Structure 1
Amino acid sequence: MQSLLNLLAAIALLVWGTHIVRTGVLRVFGENLRQVLSRSFGNRFRAMLAGMGVTTVVQSGTATCLIVASFVGKGLVTTTAALAVMLGADVGSSLMAVVFSFDLSWLSPLLIFVGVVMFTGRQASAAGRIGRVLIGLGLITLALHLIVEATRPLTASPAVRALLVALPNEILLDIVVGAALTVVSYSSLAIVLLTATLAETGLLTTPVALGLVLGANVGSGLLALVATGKASPEVRRLPLGNLLFKLIGVLVAIPFMGQVHVLLQDHFDTVHQQVVTFHLAFNLALAVLFIGFTAPVARLVNRLLPSVDPSASNTRPRHLDPMAIATPSLAISCAAREALHQADIVETMLRGMLPVIRNNDLQLAEQLRQMDDTVDDLYAAIKFYLTQVSQEALSEREGRRWADIMSFTINMEQVGDTIERVLQDVEDKKVRKNRSFSDAGMAEIVHLHEVLLTNLRLAMSVFLGGHVRDAQRLLEEKARFRDLEHEYAASHLARLRGNTAQSIETSSLHIDLISDLKRINSLICSIAYPILESHGALSKTRIRSSQLADLVDEP
């Protein structure tokens, strides 16, 4: 019983070590890995090499699949190029299995010691995150050593040996078991290494081990498919195509497993080498055989998963990919894109506000007020999505971007609420009472509305690019709008003194309207504050100290 418990603990440590390495590498190099992949999509062979290199670092073909699938979903890369990346990613994962097949027990204490020193010394820095990766690598090598030690008492047990002899040598059953173990452990690398170790100690026969390796490959394809189950059809195309490659490869390999077993025994002395070499050879064969069929398979999955009309899902989040949460740089990018989607809806509301004021269009007013519910829902979705991103995993720059996105979405939600209130006031005080603004008053409202739209577009540019010069322009526009509000308020009072009938009837609404437009403009322009503050271009107070001193000294 103690030996079995030790074995289970060692297996858990192996899975946990691969998880630490995968997440640690993505946190340190996530954005750079995305750039490497994005620059390699022009040529399928270069894309395959990029996938191999990135997965060798990440040690997870599933993680690479999720990153590239998000590119496909956003239209940044074709399914054809993405499938080529995944063929290389599977080769990269199998290469890491070969590396870990060597006796690295001497390296484990060194990796853990150096990793802990780096991590505890500077947890929030890049060095601390690299230390976390080293700890994971040390745990993997330690776990493999512990598995060997834990299986020795089990192999000496007569009951265990009798059970293993009684197991049926069914390749399909082995494949199913291997796939299930991979899905449960969330790591095909861990299952392949575990299988090789158990086979080396005699707990598994070589044919059973090879069947489990085939199952592990199928399981890795299922993992990505399950992880993208709730994503858009565009995102799910890559995992489906990759799984088709694996299934076809397994079906082709099954009839030749007897010959493969004999060939491996002739060329490799140990069972451990035979298992990991078979894993590598299988994925190399898939890459060579299917690199020329990425385009036909891409067309097939495009037909199986057709795109959904974007207009039909305008009210739902488009870019909040749950798979990206484990990769902070990718999650921040997804949230930023969704925030711009929210701003687009706010802009539509703002554009529609003027026709309602000018034409007394009740139907349009109702449609625009309903759009505020969409803005609120998107705000809630973005906020919840961002709270799921680990703050410890964010770099200093990503942390600032996280705060910028949160501030931006809050402002957009408040702008939407203000527009809704304006529309309700217009409907109650103007449309239903059949009143109208004077020509001069309407011209002022039109001008303020045009300035608002211009400032909103500038604010979206500031949010997207983070340029200090544009942020300064936005604050200048805030001051200009304030001056316009004062000017037009004075003009309205002058018309009241002139006893203009239309101005008297709509006086309250007119004053409230330009005040609300100013509030909307203030919310829009406040997007510049985080940008300027992060660059040290914002003073603590706008009150000049010299003038304040003069005011205090006055009696």
Structure 2
Amino acid sequence: MNSMVVLFQIAGAVALLLFGIGLVRDGATEAFGVRMRMALGLGTRTGPRAFFSGLVATLGLQSSTATALMTASFVDRGLMKERMAQVVLLGANVGTALTAFIVSAGLEAASPLLIFTGYLMARRKSAIWTGTGRALIGLGLMLVSLTMLQFATQFLRDSPELAAFLPMLDTAWPVALFFAASIAVMCSSSLAAVLLIMSLNLPVGLTVVMVLGANLGGAVPAVLATGNLDAGARRVTLGNLVIRAIGCMAVLPFAGKVGESLLQMPIPQTGLAVETHLVFNCILALVIWPFTGLIARLVNTAMPDEGEQKAVGPSWLDESALQTPLLALTGASREVMAIGDAVDEMLTQTRKAFHDNDTAPLAQVDELERRVDRRQQEVKTYLSRLGSSATEDEKRQSITILDYVINLEHVGDIIDRGLGPEVRKKVGLGLRFSNEGYQEIDRMFLMTQENMRLAQSVFLSRDRDMARRLMELKIEIRKHERQSAQRHLIRLREGHEGTRETSSLHLDILRDLKRINAHVVSVAHPILDEEGLLFESRLRSR
């Protein structure tokens, strides 16, 4: 009976820890998710910046898996090179080790203050305040769970059965490695596995081995989660798993000596498991960094790109469903989502052409634009033949779908007839932007792409909070466009040569990206209007 009680106590403590990690991740994503994604996308031009971006993103998200998935999505969309993605994940590994170090630094007494402060902040209306509040609550719960783990495992530490079992496990390090890796996979978190190992009274060598297993298992959930993405995204997470496996295999034979050396190091005593986790990931990053390009090429050889292209033709407009309005609207919505994905790809290829100073990707933009035009016309024709049995609600939904697909078609036109010729002009005339001007435009590109993805989610979910966030981001983009134009004019007055050559081009690209955002954000209007959250005019009343 005592064993069952202890088992449930440990299970409850681990569940609370995972729940706290999830709260921190969700809160940080709600408050700063778009900013973190943009920082991650902008911060990968050099190795140190890529490493630092991965580290900071993981400290905010409390999960190297979340950072890995975000990085893989950037590679999948052509926004990040695979070598830089591996450097980002090295930073993410160090970030999750730093998180364990901070959480285990004896801050349990601060948990009530963190939870109380987070509760007060979460009651605010702003997404930043609410998200930050949820993250603080999650951090407080993580500290509470550590206290619970220490209490729950006290029985195990004093157990004669465990004392007899540990020498057996200590003589079978490969078994211990895969056992710890299995725990990390089940928890979907190397952080949770390391903190659980920390709470047990294990021999020095066995502690190091179990931490190595937690690191190895922590890379597996990202590999599984990217199984449906393109080969480029899968290579990123697989490469991270290979890097961790190399590190584990190199250290495993010397685990005992490594543990004894760490005990002699003059670092704050947070527990051997946490210290091993931090030192292992820091040294692994330093050693592997010069070879990330080689590892990326090897993984590329083992997992080449698929030869077949994704299907692009209409696949959801079922003529037989027209007499059942609900089915027809569902099919039309899925078709419009596919059109949105095609428009997003147009934007991705245009940014790639701008970034690489190469017009080759614009040929795909032209082809995608023709497909978008054809498919949006088919959606409009399809919905015009909707059965007469449609209710008022269903008719309103069909109008919402039509509004969104028309806006997507306008976005495609702006990309093809506005941004495309502007990028061709840049490449054809050999124009070079100033560093500041280039970064401002690239940031505007990334903000627009993130808004495009968020608009797709709003269209699919019709979530009010997500729609409100999309509107808030529109305001940020408007401010960024205005500030960039002002800074451009200041540089122009100061006589910067690159600014003078690219003046009209800089302002035209900013204007077109702002227009794209205006069309994209319109998907939130009917949702917020139904809730009475929109003003009919932006004019201030007298």
TM-score with structure 1 setting the length? 0.61
Give 1:301 shift.
Answer: 2.2
Give 1:89 shift.
Answer: 1.0
Aligned residues: 381
Q: Partner of 1:77 in structure 2? A: 80
Measured in 2, the distance between the counterparts of 1:78 and 1:261 equals 36
Measured in 2, the distance between the counterparts of 1:96 and 1:125 equals 24
The answer to whether 1:251 aligns with 2:249 is yes
Structure 2 counterpart SS, 1:231: coil
Deviation sequence 1:260-282 (CA, Å, 0-9, x none)? 02212333699853221111111
Q: Partner of 2:223 in structure 1? A: 225
Q: Partner of 2:194 in structure 1? A: 192
Q: Partner of 1:303 in structure 2? A: 301
Q: Partner of 2:284 in structure 1? A: 286
Measured in 1, the distance between the counterparts of 2:462 and 2:204 equals 42
Among 345, 349, 360, the residue aligned to 2:371: 345
> In 2, are the aligned partners of 1:179 and 1:220 still within 8 Å (CA)?
yes
Q: Partner of 2:95 in structure 1? A: 92
Structure 2 counterpart SS, 1:95: helix
| Inter-CA distance 392–463: structure 2 relative to 1 (3 Å threshold) | same
Q: Partner of 2:439 in structure 1? A: none
Give 1:189 shift.
Answer: 0.8
> In 2, are the aligned partners of 1:213 and 1:275 still within 8 Å (CA)?
yes
The answer to whether 1:53 aligns with 2:125 is no
Deviation sequence 1:391-434 (CA, Å, 0-9, x none)? 376261327999xxxxxxxxxxxxxxxxxxxxxxxxxxxxxxxx
| Inter-CA distance 105–310: structure 2 relative to 1 (3 Å threshold) | same
Among 259, 262, 281, the residue aligned to 1:261: 259
Measured in 2, the distance between the counterparts of 1:216 and 1:535 equals 52
Structure 1 counterpart SS, 2:153: helix
The answer to whether 1:394 aligns with 2:466 is yes
Letter in structure 2 aligned against 1:264:
L
Give 1:55 shift.
Answer: 1.2
> In 2, are the aligned partners of 1:180 and 1:219 still within 8 Å (CA)?
yes
> In 2, are the aligned partners of 1:335 and 1:386 still within 8 Å (CA)?
no
Letter in structure 2 aligned against 1:30:
G
Q: Partner of 1:276 in structure 2? A: 274
Q: Partner of 1:211 in structure 2? A: 209
Among 131, 134, 147, the residue aligned to 2:133: 131
Give 1:194 shift.
Answer: 1.3
Measured in 2, the distance between the counterparts of 1:235 and 1:143 equals 34
Letter in structure 2 aligned against 1:279:
H
Q: Partner of 1:19 in structure 2? A: 22
Measured in 2, the distance between the counterparts of 1:316 and 1:23 equals 35
> In 2, are the aligned partners of 1:62 and 1:223 still within 8 Å (CA)?
yes
Aligned 1:81-480 pairs, distance under 5 A: 81-119=84-122, 121-122=123-124, 125-198=127-200, 202=201, 204-267=202-265, 272-309=270-307, 311-315=309-313, 336-338=340-342, 345-348=371-374, 391=463, 394=466, 396-398=468-470, 464-466=516-518
| Inter-CA distance 395–92: structure 2 relative to 1 (3 Å threshold) | farther
Letter in structure 1 aligned against 2:89:
M
| Inter-CA distance 262–336: structure 2 relative to 1 (3 Å threshold) | same
Deviation sequence 1:153-186 (CA, Å, 0-9, x none)? 3333333433334435322112111111111111
Among 14, 27, 41, the residue aligned to 2:44: 41
Measured in 1, the distance between the counterparts of 2:159 and 2:519 equals 69
Which blocks of at least 5 consecutive residues in structure 1 are unaligned?
A: 318-332, 353-374, 403-459, 472-525, 540-555
Give 1:532 shift.
Answer: 13
Aligned-residue CA RMSD (Å): 3.9
| Inter-CA distance 306–112: structure 2 relative to 1 (3 Å threshold) | same
> In 1, are the aligned partners of 2:75 and 2:232 still within 8 Å (CA)?
yes
Larger radius of gyration: 1
Deviation sequence 1:368-410 (CA, Å, 0-9, x none)? xxxxxxx9xx9xxx999668769376261327999xxxxxxxx
- Percent identical: 34
> In 2, are the aligned partners of 1:463 and 1:527 still within 8 Å (CA)?
no
Letter in structure 2 aligned against 1:114:
T
> In 2, are the aligned partners of 1:72 and 1:78 still within 8 Å (CA)?
yes
Give 1:463 shift.
Answer: 7.6
> In 2, are the aligned partners of 1:123 and 1:129 still within 8 Å (CA)?
no
Deviation sequence 1:84-114 (CA, Å, 0-9, x none)? 1111111111111111121111111111111
Structure 1 counterpart SS, 2:43: coil
Letter in structure 2 aligned against 1:391:
D
Give 1:313 shift.
Answer: 3.0
| Inter-CA distance 270–209: structure 2 relative to 1 (3 Å threshold) | farther
Deviation sequence 1:220-248 (CA, Å, 0-9, x none)? 21111011011111211110111111111
> In 2, are the aligned partners of 1:335 and 1:385 still within 8 Å (CA)?
no
Structure 1 counterpart SS, 2:273: helix
Measured in 1, the distance between the counterparts of 2:458 and 2:147 equals 39
Give 1:311 shift.
Answer: 4.0
Structure 1 counterpart SS, 2:216: helix
| Inter-CA distance 155–297: structure 2 relative to 1 (3 Å threshold) | closer
| Inter-CA distance 123–12: structure 2 relative to 1 (3 Å threshold) | farther
| Inter-CA distance 461–11: structure 2 relative to 1 (3 Å threshold) | closer
Measured in 2, the distance between the counterparts of 1:345 and 1:140 equals 50
Letter in structure 1 aligned against 2:171:
N
> In 2, are the aligned partners of 1:41 and 1:77 still within 8 Å (CA)?
yes
Measured in 1, the distance between the counterparts of 2:519 and 2:228 equals 36
> In 2, are the aligned partners of 1:532 and 1:538 still within 8 Å (CA)?
no
Give 1:334 shift.
Answer: 10
> In 1, are the aligned partners of 2:115 and 2:140 still within 8 Å (CA)?
yes
| Inter-CA distance 105–304: structure 2 relative to 1 (3 Å threshold) | same
Structure 1 counterpart SS, 2:80: coil
Q: Partner of 1:453 in structure 2? A: none
Structure 2 counterpart SS, 1:293: helix
Structure 2 counterpart SS, 1:6: helix
Greater CA deviation, 123-132 or 107-116? 123-132
Which blocks of at least 5 consecutive residues in structure 2 are unaligned?
A: 316-336, 346-367, 379-404, 409-453, 475-511
Give 1:4 shift.
Answer: 2.6
Structure 2 counterpart SS, 1:106: helix
